[in-house]
Structure formats: C-alpha cells, structure tokens
Structure 1
Amino acid sequence: VVNKDVEMPPSLRQRASRGNVSPNETRSTNGGNSSPRANGGSPRTRIGGSGGSGGKLLVDAPSKWKSLVTRASSAFAMIAGFATMLAAGHVPTILLIFIIQGLMVRELFALAVEVRKEKDVPWFRLQQWYFYGTAVFFTYGRFLKHKWVESSIVKDPERLGAFGLFMFAHHSFISYIGWMVGLVLFVLSLRSRGLYLYQFGQFAWTHMIIVTILMQSSCFVANVLEGMIWFVFPVSIVFFNDAAAYMCGFFFGRTPLIKISPKKTWEGFIGGLIVTLIVAPFAAAWMQKYEWLICPVDDKSPLRLFGGASGCDVDPLFVAKEVTVGSIVGGFESALGWMVPHGWVATVARALFGLETVRVSWFQVHAVVFASFASIIAPFGGFFASGFKRAFKIKDFSDTIPGHGGITDRMDCQMVMALFSHLYITNFIRQPGLMTVGQLLLKIEFLTNENLLRLYKAVGKMIVT
C-alpha cells in the first residue's frame, strides 16, 4: 500500500522551493508506480523535456559524449580483434565464430534459470551443455565433412583412416544417437511434480536457444568456407550501418522510430541507410582485389590451420566490366513484379545521371543488396531483442562489452544477416546441387568391389563418348 502523504525528501524539498523539481520526480516521490525514464519520459532522443522545441539533442548532453567515447573505444577493440582473426585465416575465424556463439548461448541459458529450483535438479546445467555439444557436433561436422574431409580424401585417401571415414560417413546418424542419449538422461532426471513444468520449460528453452543461435551463426561458417569475403562483407556492412545510424541519430535525431526502442530515430535510420548504400559498392570494389578474401575452400584451395585460401581461379563475379544499367536492374525489377514498371529504374538513371553503362562487378551489385537488407531489415533483429529484454525486465543481456552490453546485444542484427546472406548466396550466386570431387570420393570409399568395377566401366564409357 502506497502512502500518498509521504514526506518529500529534503533534497527535493529544497529544489521544490526553488521550482526545480520536474513532474517526473514529484510523481515518483508521491507514490506513482512508474519511475522516471531517460530523456524526460519521451522516446525522442532529447534531453530535458517531452520532445518539444525547447529540448536538447543528444549531441548537447555531456554524459552522452562520455557514452560515445566508451562505445567507440569498445568498437575499435572489437574491430582490432576481428581483423586479427581474419588475417590468421579460415580456421581462426571459424574458432572466433564458435566462441562468440558459445558466449551468446551462455548468456541466454542464464537468462531463464531459477537458481532455487536448479539446486533441486541434479546435473541440469550439464544437460543443457550436452545438448548444445551434440548440436555443435552435428552442425560443424557437416562443414568439416563437406570441406576439409573431402579435400583431404582427394589428396590422400588413407589420411583419415577407417575410424575417421566411418565417423564422417555416418555423421548424421551418430549425431542423432547422441541427442537420444541426452533425451533419455533428461527423462531419468525428472523429479517431483512440482518441478515437472520447470524442467520441461527449461528443456524447451534450451532447444529454442540452440536452434536459433546455432542455425544462424553456423551460416556464417558456411559463408567463410565459400570465401572469406562472403563473411567479411555482410558482417562489416551491418557493423557500419549500425555506426552510421548511431552517428546520424546522435547529431540529427529528433523523431522517434519505434516505441520498443526509444533511442532509435527516423533521422538515424534513414541517414544510416543512405550512407551505407553509398559506401557499399566502393567497399566491395576494394575487398574484391584481395585473393585471400575471394578464394573459397575447395579441392584447389584446401582448408588450412593458419592462412587463407589462395591460388584459385578468379571468379568472374569479382571482375569489373562495362555493363548496361538495364542489365543490372532488370533482375530486381523482375523480382519486384508489378511494384516497379519494367525499365523504370534504367530510365530514371539515364534521365538524372546520364548513365547508359557503368563499370562494376556483379559482386558490387550484390553488395548493394546486402547493404539494403542490413539497413532496412536487419535492424529489426535489434528491435526484436529490445522487446525480448523488456519482457524479461533487463537492460542488457550482460555487461561483457563496455558501452554495448553483452555479446548477444552486439550480435542481434548479425544473426539476421547471417541467415539472409547464406540463403542469398546459395539461391542467387552459387549453383546448388553440384557435387565436388571430394564428395564423390567420400561416397566411392564405401562402394563394394562389384560396384567399384561397375563404376569404373561406366566412367570409361563416358570418357570414350
């Protein structure tokens, strides 16, 4: 029961006598059930008011400059670490993804744990990490099977041995058996009725986290193996858009964008979009010059512990050439259908800029698509995370990164971009369904002598014809 006649604290009473107490403070002191919000209770990025013309922009607040310095320092540290792992090669980069993924899972596992009940459930945290380990074995084993193992078989069929061949040939079945063992252990751990709901809730929560985080972060690993550039560019463009939107909102933000994330403004959102679209094709042109970025991991460029892939044939995708504006935008117009009249974009480009042809690579065109998604759709991953945190009444998932919160706070938009970039690559850039020499040899290893002879005769006939 709130006592509405409670005496005002001395500090506020002195300020009230001078007329300096804000309505938010008096409401809170007088027993209101809402605490004063930042920015004067308004979702606008203004200080000291309800968002009217008398308020100040974030750039005018000294505390915000301190926050900007903290965020910038952390950002530079993250960029330095990211660049170091990239320079070390594919395997260290995959290891970095694996570490970040594990830290995200750890933060989310801890979010829904009730310590009091967990003490009554033996080995429950161990079960969570067992299921996670099984999922990691299944997911990353597939990548090793399709890249490292197959390229190894091409060079030295005896390198893996009988046990290694068996493990990778029956990898999916072994993964399923591992998960079933975990399920049996979970059922045996069920205790009193008072904990059934909690245990099954944690079981569902564990699998939801594993599927959500592991599926999307593993797409980044797939992109790394397609060529480092397919990982570096999507990650960098999301990071750049986030920084550009923050700076535009910091200096010009006035109009709130979405209630669930009060600090986001339309000025920051649109400014970040424009700046990102301008920078994307130039960044793509710079990145495509480096062989270690564009070479995929395949039979010609096998996966190595340190160092990037090299010695590959340059994909025409990364070669700049003269193309007509109509050929570039034709595919996008077809995809949009009736929303954009055929030839409209090319006509506007000719009328406004006098452009008939431009010298670009197709990777630069794809870079604009990535930039558009990173600027328009990927931020909704952050908005989703904001709503999720509000549901749990927390500000950040953790305080691992000064000025940014936890690892999950920093990776929310990246998770959305990971899945999109992987699906975009497999649907519009790479040809699906083709089998590499390594994949074929891995299957040949398990043929009987009779079937090997039949295959030998069939291949001989194909060569002759």
Structure 2
Amino acid sequence: QPLLQSSVSHDPLEIIQIYGASDNETKSESGVPEVPVPADDTPEVLNKALSGLSSRWKNWWVRGILTPAMISFFFIIIYLGPMVLMMIVLCIQIKCFHEIITIGYSVYHSYHLPWFRTLSWYFLLCVNYFFYGETVTDYFFTLVQREEPLRILSKYHRFISFALYLTGFCMFVLSLVKKHYRLQFYMFGWTHVTLLIVVTQSHLIIHNLFEGMIWFIVPISCVICNDIMAYMFGFFFGRTPLIKLSPKKTWEGFIGGFFATIVFGILLSYVMSGYRFFVCPVEFNNDSNSFTVDCKPSELFQLQDYGLPPVLQSITGWTIVKLYPFQIHSIALSAFASIMGPFGGFFASGFKRAFKIKDFANTIPGHGGIMDRFDCQYLMATFVNVYIASFIRGPNPSKVIQQLLALRPDQQLHIFNSLKAHLTEKGLLPLLEEAA
C-alpha cells in the first residue's frame, strides 16, 4: 500500500510499470484522478414538478420535455439556411472539443504542468484554419481570385498551415517539464485524437451539406430518430442487456430502433426529395455574394417506377410503386445509423467509464453535454462522406473549370487545343457546332 500511494503521488502511469500491464483494470486505473462530476443543473421548476417521481421516471420526463425543444431548434436553423447551419456546426465542434479537453485538463492540471490548455486551443485554431481554408478555396474560388489578399492566402494556404502547426509543435517541446515527460506526451496525444474525432468529422459534415441539404438533414435525423426510438423501446420493453459498456442499452431497444429508423428514413426522404431547397447542391453566387440552392433536380430526386417482389405483391396487392431513387439510398443511411451509429455512443461510454463520469458535461439537463448528443453523429458524417464519394458523386465540371481558369493563358490555350482535337477525333465537335 505505501508503494501504491507513492506511485500515485508522483506519476499515475508508473503503476503500470510496477505491477505489469497484465494487472486488472482496478490496479491499472487506480492512479488516474477522477474527474469531478458536474452538478445537476436541471431547472428548479422541473425538479419541483417531478420531485415525487423515481429517478428513472424523472429522467424520462426531463428528456421528454427537452427533446422536442431541441428538435424545434434544429428545424429553425434549417429554415435559416446553409450559412447558419455551417456556423452552428462550428459552434458545436468548439463545444465538443471544450468538453473533451476539460476532462483531460482536470487530470493535467492536478500536476500543475503548464501550457496544455493553451496549446490545445492553439492546435484547434490551426486545424480549423487548414480545413476551412481548403473549403473556402474549393467553394468560393471566384471570390478568392477576385480579392488579392485572399488569392495570396489561398496560394500559400498549406504552407501557412504547416508553419502554424510547427510553431505549436515547438511550443510543446519547450514546455516539457522534467519527471513528467510521459504524462505530457500522453496529453499531447489526447489533444490530437480529440482534433481527429471532432474537427475532421465536423469538416466532413460541412462537405456533406454542400452536396445538398438532404445529405445533411436525413443522416442527422436518422441518428436522432434511432436514439429516441431505441430509448423508447428499451425503456418500455428492454429486458436483454446489449453491451457491458452501456448497461442500460438493450437488444429490444436496438432492434426496435433499427426498424423504426428505416421507416422514418424512407418517409423523410420521400417528403424532402420533392423540394429543390433540400436536394440542390449549395453553391456560392458570385453576383449576389450569397449562397443559392436552386437547380434542376438530378435523376436521384425524380420519381421512378419500381416493381415489387412477388412476396410484397401478394401482401399489398401492388405490382409497381413510385419512389425517389434517393429513398433506396436512405435505407443504407438509416441502416448505418441504426447498426454502426450506436458504436459511437459505446465508444463514448467507454471513454466516460475510464474517467468515472456519467456525462461529458451538464450543458443539456437530462441529456448531458453536447458531446453526449453528437457522439454518434460524427461517425455518421464520415460514412455519408464516403458513401457520396463512392456511389453518388461523379466528376464536377464546375470545379474543373475553376482549375482551368487558375492556369496561365498559354496553358489554357494548350488545353483548349488538346480538347478540340480530341472532340474532333471522336466526331463530336461538328455535331456540337451544328447544334450551336
């Protein structure tokens, strides 16, 4: 016991060396300081109104009251348009980063080591500068080329980003304190993993948004639906535990949430596919300096006839149904939200159990922190981005033209002559000239 106390008072990670990596979890984690549990910030009005209920039913009513409020807020920001959505995504990203880093700082600060929190926010700034700079260059090309300062920043964007990161790297090396090197490198890794999980995924969410609001709304709504329906089915019918990391999660909730989410995704996709505001890519209008959402919907969002399998024909009596092709894709999105999405929550549960905390924060009464609500969303964002790149997106003519306009006149002329010769060889150029 004295040896254990001595180890705890100096470096919690030395316990692993003393007792060996094969020791049980209690010994290996006994040196990790517990993070203070946030105080309950449930509004006093709700506490008084629900004072006679058990904690289980109290939590049910708190969630039931605040969930519609959050969904209403979600509808409001959708109505306000893509620019507001992007700003909200940035704010959520910063808040999630803050919640995770605060947990790390609670451990780091207990040893009075400098610079961790300052460097963490500095690296967040660097990574956001890199990602948002890439986005501005891709989607605001004409505006960037029109303004001299922006053109210079765009040209040397990656070099500037690397220089900023290198500055932070040198600051970290200079902040190293004797006898605490291992813990400092541990927290350096903590910061970078947090950046990978939070910032990279939020950047992908914005890329999905530019493909069309429907690629932003449907996946997020499917995750929300699965979370709500899994909770509902688990609350009323749950009997069989699903995973040890989350004792309250049950197979009944998992399966019920899956089928409910599939149906919800198909219905929501049907409603949204009929509106250009949702299906058209978000583009920047150089004349008005604003975002526009207007286009001729692609075949993905045009009703088509689909023949039903014989089994369904015998049940429904229908032989053909009219569906939007996007509804077929929504089944894949809903299935991922229901099957793989919860693993983001399981991952977060394991993280919280490692530090003996119930929630990342107490920002939303009954729901925990912002990260508690968006742990599944980040995994979903990556899947949607990969899905679009693999099965949906083709070559983008507008981006090719943007790249051509950035070339020198002689390079543009060379490409023009090469393309003209190619079209003439294929026999397409005379046809095009006759059509003109």
Q: Encode CA deviations 1:54-96: one digit per residue, 9 max, x unaligned.
A: xxxxxxx744332122112221222122222111111110110
Structure 2 residue matching 1:190: 3-state secondary structure: coil
Structure 2 equivalent of residue 208 of structure 1 = 193
Q: Paired residue for 2:16?
A: none
The Cα of 1:459 is off from its aligned counterpart by: 5.4
Does residue 311 (structure 1) correspond to residue 294 (structure 2)? The answer is yes
Give CA deviations for 1:191-212 in whole Å, capped at 9, x if unaligned: 3x21212221111111111011
Q: What residue in structure 2 maps to residue 177 of structure 1?
A: 163
Which secondary structure state, in structure 2, belongs to the residue aligned with residue 108 of structure 1? helix
Indicate which of 381, 390, 393 corresponds to 2:353: 390
Is the 8 Å Cα contact of residues 89 and 305 (structure 1) preserved in structure 2? no
1:454 alignment partner AA: H
Change (3 A) 1:164 1:285: same
CA contact (8 A) 2:241 2:249 kept: yes
**DSSP 3-state at the match of 1:314:** coil
- Other structure's SS at 1:263 match: strand
Give 1:462 shift: 6.0
User: What CA deviation, in whole Å up to 9, does each residue of 1:253-305 have, x standing for no partner?
Assistant: 22222222111112111111122222221111111122211110237x67988
Cα 1:119/1:292, change in 2 over 3 Å: same
Preserved contact between residue 297 and residue 303 of structure 1 (Cα < 8 Å): no
Instruction: Tell me the equivalent position of 2:398.
Output: 437
**Equivalent position amino acid for 1:74 in 2:** L
Contact persistence 2:305–2:322 (CA under 8 A): yes
| Post-superposition offset of 1:372 | 1.1
Aligned to 2:216: 231
Report SS of the residue matched to 1:257.
strand
Task: Give the letter aligned to residue 317 of structure 1.
Answer: L
| Displaced runs of 4 or more, over 6 A | 302-306
Counterpart for residue 124 of structure 1: 116
SS of the equivalent of 1:194 reads coil
Q: Following the alignment from structure 1 to structure 2, what is the Cα–Cα distance between the partners of residues 453 and 302? A: 25
Is contact 1:280-1:368 (8 Å) kept?
yes
Deviation at 1:148, TM superposition (A): 2.2
Q: 1:62 to 1:117 in 2, by over 3 A?
A: closer
Alpha-carbon distance in structure 1 between the residues aligned to 2:100 and 2:180? 21
Match of 1:278 among 251, 263, 266: 263
Does structure 2 conserve the Cα–Cα contact (< 8 Å) formed by 1:90 and 1:303?
Answer: no
CA–CA separation in structure 1 for the residues paired with 2:202 and 2:222:
16
Give ranges in structure 1 of 5+ residues lacking alignment.
Answer: 2-60, 326-345
Match of 1:341 in 2: none
**Structure 1 partner of 2:67:** 75
Cα offset for 1:189?
2.1
Contact kept, 8 Å, 1:131 with 1:182, in 2: the verdict is yes
Residues 249 and 268, structure 1, Cα contact 8 Å, conserved in 2: yes
* Structure 2 match to 1:366: 329
Task: Say which SS state the counterpart of residue 398 (structure 1) adopts.
Answer: coil
* Residue number among 219, 223, 241 corresponding to 1:256 in the alignment: 241
Q: Distance in 2 between matches of 1:249 and 1:304?
A: 50
Q: 1:428 aligns with which of 391, 395, 404?
A: 391
TM-fit CA distance, 1:135: 0.7
Counterparts of 1:415 and 1:164, CA distance in 2 = 30
Give the residue type in structure 1 aligned to 2:166. Answer: M
Matched, 1:381 2:337: no
8 A Cα contact 1:303 1:309, kept in partner: no
Q: Counterpart of 1:265?
A: 250
Q: Structure 1 residues 453, 283: CA separation in 2 closer, same or farther (over 3 Å shift)?
A: closer
Matched, 1:321 2:304: yes
1:412 Cα deviation from its structure 2 partner:
1.0
Instruction: Output the aligned Cα RMSD.
Output: 2.6
CA distance in 1, matches of 2:313, 2:156: 57
Structure possessing the higher radius of gyration over alpha carbons? 1
- In 1, Cα distance between the equivalents of 2:65 and 2:170? 48
Number of aligned residue pairs? 374
> 2: CA distance between counterparts of 1:367 and 1:382?
21
**1:454 matches 2:417:** no
Mark the CA change 1:452 to 1:302 in structure 2 (over 3 Å): closer, same or farther.
Answer: closer
CA separation in 1, counterparts of 2:287 and 2:76? 18
User: Contact 1:147/1:302 (CA < 8 Å) preserved in 2?
Assistant: no
Q: Which residue of 2 aligns with 1:29?
A: none
2:125 alignment partner in structure 1:
133
1:218 Cα shift? 1.5
Per-residue CA distance 1:396-438 (angstroms, 9 max, x = gap): 111111001111111111111111111111111112xx24434
The residue number in structure 1 matching 2:434 is none
Contact 1:277–1:368 at 8 Å: present in 2 too? yes
